[in-house]
Amino acid sequence: MDWLGWKTTLRLLKEYPELIGASFQFAVAWGVLWWSLSRLWDKGNISALNTRIAGLQDTIALLEGELGRTREDLHTTKDELRVAMESQLRIAKDIELLRADNAKLVPEIKQLQATSPKSEQARLTILHDGATEITVRINSIGQANTVLGSTLSNITRRLEAKDLTVGSPTFGKPTARSD
């Protein structure tokens, strides 16, 4: 407002003193209205925020339950993986024993072929071919078992790298990790 506007306002207030009271009442009414509306707006926002917080707390509780079940599944899977790795190692040892036993048979069969009469040669050839086939199959099973062992080791490394059991066992909350 410029000087002329203030001058007019002061002249009117001097001529009509009831304008001072009305202006004061208007200012108080405006303040009360503003305060009331802001309280209603705040209550609405607070209520909406409380509703969102309750929803998020429910979601957190569900996720914590799911995390607990996932941890149990992970523990069971690790146990099953450990048993599978032990079985794979046992199979590897059995394969080596079979290779050694079969390797002993082949020279014996060859020696029998050299010293046996012609009538037994056909049977010994079949026996020799069978031993050779067994060697091929043992080697094939050994290679498959090696691939299986490598796969199990890779799975173990991945499970350890993505270990969901990191955290407080009491509360299940994550703890600081130094990676």
C-alpha span between 124 and 113 (Å, rounded): 6
d(CA 179, CA 176): 10
* Cα separation, 78 vs 64, whole angstroms: 21
Grouping H, G, I as helix, E, B as strand and the rest as coil, residue 1 is coil
Identify the helix (H) or strand (E) that includes residue 163. none
pLDDT for the residue numbered 19: 84
Find the mean pLDDT for residues 91-104.
90
d(CA 150, CA 42): 62
Structure confidence by residue, pLDDT tens digits, 123-144: 888 888 888 899 999 999 999 9
- Burial of residue 113 (CB within 10 Å: 0-12, 13-18, 19+) is middle
* CB of 155 closer than 8 Å to CB of 78: no
Of 110, 154, 149, which Cα lies nearest the Cα of 129?
A: 110
Per-residue pLDDT reduced to its tens digit, 41-65: 877 788 888 999 999 999 999 999 9
**Residue that has been written with the tokens 């450990």 in this structure:** 82
What's the predicted TM-score (pTM) here? 0.53
The structural domains of the chain, with segments of one domain joined by +, span: 30-70, 81-164
Structure tokens at 173: 């909350």
